Structure 1
Amino acid sequence: MSTYNKIGLAVFLAFGLAACGGGGSGSPSAAATSTNQSSNAAFRDAMPSASAQAVNLTDASAGSVYNAAAYKINLDGKSYKVSDLASDKVTNLVNQEGNETVRTYRQQFSIIAGRFSSEKIGGENLKDDPEMTTAVAEVKNPMVVGLVNGEATQTLPTSGKYAYNGAAFGETEIGKLTYNVDFDKRVGSGSVTGLASSGKIDLLEASIKNTSFNNEIDGTLVTTQGIEGHSNSEKLGKGDYKVHFFGKNAEEIGGAIMQKNGEIGIAGKR
């Protein structure tokens, strides 16, 4: 799998462990749009609530069933309920200084989120001339997908072909995801279009397997069934991708594409 370096995240998500039954939509997702929301205070470390705990399944053939709508995103004391975020749309949660952003995409059974930030360095007074300061440079930390979680599918279909349609989102762009799964052959493949920085991204065919996703945003480890494969971008070349299945009947997928310039969140429904 990808060896790209992960960036530590300063935002934690507290969530209730509410078990939830299935049932979902079979229609394609609505066209993705972007919504901006600003917090009233800067990001800071926040401990999970008492009900929060790691998801670490001993049997990788069965997923974890947690209600995605029960998540709360805490930004320096201000709480955002995932259920209040726009469905099937990208929402930006931005700190007061505007230098850290959590970018989320909520579906009925899952939540996918990435984080990116920037910081300014320099501006110090020079020792030999106190009236002079060093130049100020802005350092940008690329987006890392730090949360892929929700009501993981317990039992995957054993037959049938499903097309999942939804969104792919980077730091500033929103594209379209198309992903096809053949449960007879237990393989999946697809593509992402509409991202100018990457060009078309082919998600190469790979097999369904036991997978895990380390959620850096809330510290959980989700172990379930999904697909891990290689990607190929028109502009950025080779990368990797990972998707998990969500919903009682695998109604949704969610995951990430790892590229050399950062990561892309992907989400779709059938």
Structure 2
Amino acid sequence: MSTNNMSKIGTLTVLALSIAACTSNPNSHSPFEISSEMSGKTETTAERQARIKAAQEARLKAEAEAKAEAERVAREKAEQERLAKEAEAKRLAEEAEKARLAQEEADRIAAEKAEQERLAQEQAERERQEQLAREAEEAEKARLAQEEADRIAAEKAEQERQEQLAREAEAKRLAEEEARKAREAKIADLTKKAQDVGLTAEQTTNYANANADKSDADAKAALDAIVKENRDNKIADLAKKATDAGLPQTQAENYAKAQTDATDAEAKAALDKLVADRQAVKDDLKQKALDAGLSDEQIQNYVAENIDETGQVAQAALNEIVKQNNRVKELVRLAIDAGLSQDVADSLANNNKQATDEAFKTIVNAEKAKQAQEQANALKGEYANNPKNELVNKNFISSSSSRNSFTSADRNHQVIYNLPYSVVVGDYQGAVEYNNQNGQIFTDNRSTNIEVKGLKTAVDALPNEGRATYSGLAFNGTIGLERKQTTDSWGYPSYEYVDVVKNGKLSYTVDFAKRVGFGRITGLGDDIVLDQGSVIDAGISSTAKQSYRSGNYQLSFYGPTAEEVAGKVSFGNKDTVGFGGTRGEITK
């Protein structure tokens, strides 16, 4: 862009900006206004508006001219840049064409050089192939010559080999003929030796043929082995015949060894005598055992155990059996007198022949206790397997609410107290309110039933003197909460509250001499007093009191000799409390 153009753009721009500044501010004074004021003339409104309009039109015209000038300058600049780019592009194209032509010339020269090299290589390959052909022709001639030489040498070698084979075959034939004659001579010798020691014809033939090619020492060892095997087989056969005839193993083996060199008839006669002698001993022992009163089984065992013993040893064994039989009879009498059946008495006596009277009485008492326990379990039925000497609660339907020590519950549940010879089962259904700390019942609207099952003591088995106290547990169907500690999966202690049956303590004293009993239950609220009652038919019944309430109780004795008591307390004609206990020492 020229300097004149730049000067024109600058002047127009300044003039346009000055006019814009004057028209944008109504309070400002244009140059014309200043001139008017300075001349002392007053400008009218119409003149002023005309002046402003003229100024605005001048401004717009100046702006349009400035814009047009700027666009012209820009176009001139763009054209100059375009021409410069076209000149540069033309220069680059000319340089590229020069480079292309130079490359084409270089490629042509390289192609000519490559063609010359290819032709040279083809000429060299033709010369190499011609050389290889000449060498192959010479090698083939040499190979044919070598093959002919090898054929002649092979024919000569084969002829020599055949001659050598013929010589070796003749030598082998002569050696085999000599060996055959020697083998036949040795077989004849071995046959005679085998016949001399008593081998069978088949054994002789087999032995001679099998050892004809062995050394004399090996052949002799083989013959000795056959002789020993024949002797062992005969001993085994004789021993089997003896055991089949009833002789014991040791006697049968001794007989067989003694008859090894005997004829078959001699061996049979010897066996028949041994069998007859043994039968005579057996008959004698059997008669003595029969005379001594032994049972058939004892006779059979006695004879079998003593047939090979001396008469003195056999008689001592018989005396010991008779002594043991007498002892068994005494023990059986003791067991039957103690109340055991004949079969059980026989079994205990036979299994404990060496026991003293006192030791056997202990065994009998243990058996009686076992039978009593089995009988008690059968009478207890489904409750027999419950844990013993603790209260077990079985919930069927249960709902309850508690506040502090007060609980209101509606349950259908069962409380079980299992003792060795008896079980007390309490069935409770319905609503009840109670103190969950001590088990005291406030209101009881339940339907209840308390039943005792087990082995009742026979009337004549009750003690007749002394007094004893029974101790155990009691329940009234109330349930409390107990905090129990457990361990979580990480090994840390944790706590939970579980339902537990509120249990009371029974203490009941029986005077067997006076035939009366009385006691008390604690731990279920106010003490329950069990008034004195009389023993009637292995049981006691009397009145019971708990604070202001009155009722009654009844119990029975359980176990072979009144080892336990078990029963229930009723208030308001309702089974309320179940209890049981085991007897302490009877004091006189």
Are 1:144 and 2:445 an aligned pair? no
Taking the aligned partners of 1:169 and 1:22, their CA distance within structure 2 comes to 31
State which of 469, 476, 483 in structure 2 corresponds to 1:163: 469
Shift of 1:97: 6.4
More strand by share: 1
Contact 1:68/1:111 (8 A) holds in 2: no
More helix by share: 2
Are 1:69 and 2:414 an aligned pair? no
Are 1:191 and 2:539 an aligned pair? no
Decide whether aligned partners of structure 1 residues 72 and 256 sit closer, same or farther in structure 2, where only a CA change above 3 A counts: closer
Decide whether aligned partners of structure 1 residues 21 and 117 sit closer, same or farther in structure 2, where only a CA change above 3 A counts: farther
State which of 224, 227, 231 in structure 1 corresponds to 2:544: 231
Within 5 Å, which residues of 2 pair with 1:59-208? 67-70=375-378, 81-95=382-396, 99-118=411-430, 140-145=445-450, 147-154=451-458, 155-172=461-478, 173-196=502-525, 199-208=526-535
Taking the aligned partners of 1:208 and 1:245, their CA distance within structure 2 comes to 10
Contact 1:21/1:248 (8 A) holds in 2: no
Q: What TM-score does the superposition give when structure 1 sets the normalisation length?
A: 0.56
Shift of 1:143: 3.1
Off by >6 Å, runs of 4+ in structure 1:
none
Taking the aligned partners of 2:413 and 2:580, their CA distance within structure 1 comes to 19
Taking the aligned partners of 1:174 and 1:162, their CA distance within structure 2 comes to 23
SS at match of 1:68: helix
Residues 115-157 of structure 1: CA deviation (Å, up to 9, x unaligned):
01138xxxxxxxxxxxxxxxxxxx9424321x21211011211
Contact 1:166/1:269 (8 A) holds in 2: yes
Decide whether aligned partners of structure 1 residues 95 and 201 sit closer, same or farther in structure 2, where only a CA change above 3 A counts: same
Residues 27-50 of structure 1: CA deviation (Å, up to 9, x unaligned):
xxxxxxxxxxxxxxxxxxxxxxxx
Q: What TM-score does the superposition give when structure 2 sets the normalisation length?
A: 0.27
Decide whether aligned partners of structure 1 residues 165 and 144 sit closer, same or farther in structure 2, where only a CA change above 3 A counts: same
Are 1:258 and 2:570 an aligned pair? yes
Point out where structure 1 has 5 or more consecutive residues left out of the alignment. Answer: 1-19, 25-63, 74-80, 120-138, 211-224
Shift of 1:65: 9.4
Decide whether aligned partners of structure 1 residues 206 and 233 sit closer, same or farther in structure 2, where only a CA change above 3 A counts: same
Residues 54-74 of structure 1: CA deviation (Å, up to 9, x unaligned):
xxxxxxxxxx9983323677x
User: Which amino acid counterpart does residue 184 of structure 1 have in structure 2?
Assistant: A
Contact 2:519/2:532 (8 A) holds in 1: yes
SS at match of 2:477: coil
- Residue identity (%): 29
Decide whether aligned partners of structure 1 residues 161 and 105 sit closer, same or farther in structure 2, where only a CA change above 3 A counts: same
Give the root-mean-square deviation of aligned CA atoms: 2.7
Q: Return the index of the structure with the highest Cα Rg.
A: 2
